[in-house]
């Protein structure tokens, strides 16, 4: 049931550049061909989105938008198991992870929450009547929230459905039209959504367009086009900076959810047998998550105790077949990504960190696919490359600290500020530390606030803006202040 065609202006079409091949990262088998968009295809999609925004009532018809989002939700539910198998195959996502953040969790409210917000959001705020000093006229003042316009949504390969559904839900609920550009490594989940929109919803032609391309620079046409009002991008900080730079020419509105090097601080009063379990986080989906807790900070007084627990975890988790329900660490997405991760592991060894578990080479038991062994580094200084740069693989670095102040200093000593965790026997103490962390998404004592109603995003080089929640909803709107003589 894979869909190879793109959705442009309400029609499923082939790409002018031909096709490109979608590969299963676990075994390198060909999953199929998908349409390859040219720059002209992208501009046709942008033109369709522009017309749909400017010439239809999509941007103002709240009830219709709500109906269409609900239709899309139920259409996806009708193919959820096919979509699950597709994500396992093209993303290399472990089956277990699809029952959480890869598919089931975002589907619950990714579309339904913003659909509900359509009815409750303050589209108009009354500031009351006043005599304005510059005119002397008794004036009624309103603040209107309106959609931004055409949104270019660029999505990553690591959690493609989760990111896409949250971008579509909020952008469409606020009345925008969208050109969706998925990562070339994982196109089928996006083209499936295009087919479902075309065949199973009343979403008008041009409101959603899906363009797939093997060339990343084809997607840059969205950033360059003056007809695109906003870029909503999730991916690497390097690409985010390029989008910010190229979008400056047309003053693009931006939502950028970028990289991370998130720290878990285990305080000395924590139950270490429980607290150190969060160290398994970088193994989930082979560490291919922007908020993965890839730095663990342990008090020097209990450092050896924590390292012993982490060593047991890492020695007992292996990279395995994502189809196996017991697998948590599958393949990485590509040979390029595999080489990049292994390069970081070698760099860690060269800089003097201790590789307690892992290897600088791929696992030998796999003949095909892109695999990296779970890797645990200790004796890490926070200035080392493996502690400062985002590896995006199954690698945990463990760093000692002296006291709470030192732990906060180390956690904040990073160009990133996406997420973090604090583990403590005292809620009051963990809250006090959390308030000092320069990161946008903090979990205390093993919890996480993930959900369609919870803003997600980061400080510093982890991005601009927030996904989800009212804060995420608002960023897809413009503010218009209106005044007229009071009646």
**C-beta separation of 319 from 373 below 8 A:** yes
pLDDT in tens, 74-120: 999 999 999 999 999 999 999 999 999 999 999 999 999 999 999 99
Catalytic residue numbers read 257
Can you tell me the distance from the alpha carbon of 75 to that of 203, in angstroms, rounded to the nearest whole number? 12
How many beta carbons lie within 10 A of that of residue 282, not counting itself?
29
Are residues 398 and 378 in contact, defined by beta-carbon separation less than 8 angstroms? yes
| Residue 447, C-beta contacts closer than 8 angstroms, at least 6 positions apart | none
Residue 270 neighbours by CB distance under 10 Å: 23
Q: What size, in residues, is the chain?
A: 487
Per-residue model confidence (pLDDT) at position 449: 84
Based on DSSP, count helices (H) and strands (E) in the chain, helices before strands.
Answer: 17, 22
Within 266-376, residue ranges assigned H as helices are 272-275, 303-315, 335-350
Contacts of 105 (CB under 8 A, 6+ apart): 162, 450
The encoded tokens of residue 431 equal: 């809250």
Ranges of each domain in the chain? 6-258+462-485, 263-444
What is the helix (H) or strand (E) element at residue 127, kind and residue range? strand 124-131
> Of 289, 282, 296, 258, which Cα lies nearest the Cα of 416?
258
Q: In the β-sheet with 177-181, what is the strand arrangement from edge to edge?
A: 11-13, 6-8, 208-210, 177-181, 150-154, 230-234, 253-257, 463-464
Contacts of residue 471, Cβ cutoff 8 Å, sequence gap at least 6: 455
Q: What angle in degrees, to the nearest 10, is found between the helix axes of 404-412 and 427-434? A: 40
CATH of 263-444, one of 3.30.300.130, 3.30.700.30, 3.40.190.10, 3.40.309.10: 3.40.309.10
Average confidence (pLDDT) per 10 residues, the chain, 487 residues: 95 98 98 98 98 98 98 98 98 98 97 98 97 91 98 98 98 98 98 98 98 94 98 97 97 97 98 96 97 98 98 97 97 98 98 98 95 98 98 98 98 98 97 98 92 96 97 98 94
Site of tokens 């359509």: 118
Burial tier of 139 (Cβ tally within 10 Å: 0-12, 13-18, 19+): middle
Per-residue model confidence as pLDDT tens digits over 429-442: 999 999 999 999 99
CATH 3.40.50.720 fits 6-258+462-485, yes or no: no
Collect all residues with Cβ–Cβ distance below 8 Å to 289 and sequence separation of at least 6: 158, 159
Q: How many CA atoms lie less than 13 Å away from 474 in the CB half-sphere? A: 13
291-302, pLDDT tens digit by residue? 999 999 999 999
């Amino acid at each position: 049931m894979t869909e190879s065609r793109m959705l442009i202006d309400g029609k499923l079409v082939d790409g002018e550049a031909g096709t490109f091949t979608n590969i299963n990262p676990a075994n390198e088998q060909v999953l199929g061909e998908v349409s390859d968009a040219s720059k002209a295809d992208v501009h046709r999609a942008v033109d369709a989105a522009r017309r749909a925004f400017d010439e239809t009532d999509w941007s103002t018809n709240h009830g219709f938008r709500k109906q269409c989002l609900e239709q899309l939700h139920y259409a996806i539910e009708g193919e959820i198991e096919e979509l699950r198998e597709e994500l396992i195959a093209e993303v290399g996502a472990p089956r277990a992870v699809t029952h959480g953040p890869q598919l089931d969790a975002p589907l619950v409210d990714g579309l339904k929450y913003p659909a509900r917000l359509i009815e409750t959001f303050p589209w108009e705020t009354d500031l009351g009547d006043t005599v304005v000093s510059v005119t002397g006229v008794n004036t009624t003042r309103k603040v209107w929230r309106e959609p931004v316009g055409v949104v270019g949504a660029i999505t990553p390969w690591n959690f493609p459905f989760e990111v896409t559904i949250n971008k579509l839900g909020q952008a469409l609920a606020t009345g925008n039209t969208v050109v969706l550009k998925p990562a070339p490594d994982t196109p089928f989940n996006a083209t499936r959504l295009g087919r479902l929109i075309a065949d199973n919803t009343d979403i008008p032609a041009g409101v959603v367009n899906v363009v797939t391309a093997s060339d990343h620079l084809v997607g840059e046409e969205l950033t360059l086009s003056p007809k695109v009002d906003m870029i909503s991008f999730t991916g690497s900080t390097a690409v985010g900076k390029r989008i910010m730079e190229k979008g400056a020419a047309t003053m693009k509105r931006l939502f950028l959810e970028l990289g991370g090097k998130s720290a878990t601080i285990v305080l000395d009063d924590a139950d270490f047998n429980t607290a150190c379990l969060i160290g398994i986080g970088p193994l989930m989906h082979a560490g291919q998550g922007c908020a993965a807790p890839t730095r663990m900070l342990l008090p020097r007084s209990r450092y050896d105790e924590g390292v012993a627990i982490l060593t047991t975890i890492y020695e007992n988790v292996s990279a395995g077949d994502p189809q196996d329900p017991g697998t948590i660490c599958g393949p990485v997405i590509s040979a390029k990504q595999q080489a990049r991760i292994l390069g970081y592991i070698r760099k860690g060894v060269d800089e003097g960190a201790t590789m307690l578990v892992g290897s600088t080479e791929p696992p030998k038991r796999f003949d095909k696919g892109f695999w990296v062994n779970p890797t645990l580094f200790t004796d890490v200084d926070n200035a080392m490359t493996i502690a400062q740069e985002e590896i995006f693989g199954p690698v945990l670095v463990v760093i000692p600290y002296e006291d709470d102040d030192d732990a906060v200093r180390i956690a904040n000593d990073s160009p990133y500020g996406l997420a973090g965790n604090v583990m403590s026997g005292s809620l009051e103490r963990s809250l006090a530390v959390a308030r000092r962390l320069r990161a946008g998404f903090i979990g205390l004592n093993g919890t996480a606030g993930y959900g369609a109603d919870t803003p997600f995003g980061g400080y510093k080089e982890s991005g601009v803006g927030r996904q989800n929640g009212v804060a995420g909803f608002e960023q897809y709107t413009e503010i218009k202040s209106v005044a007229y003589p009071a009646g």
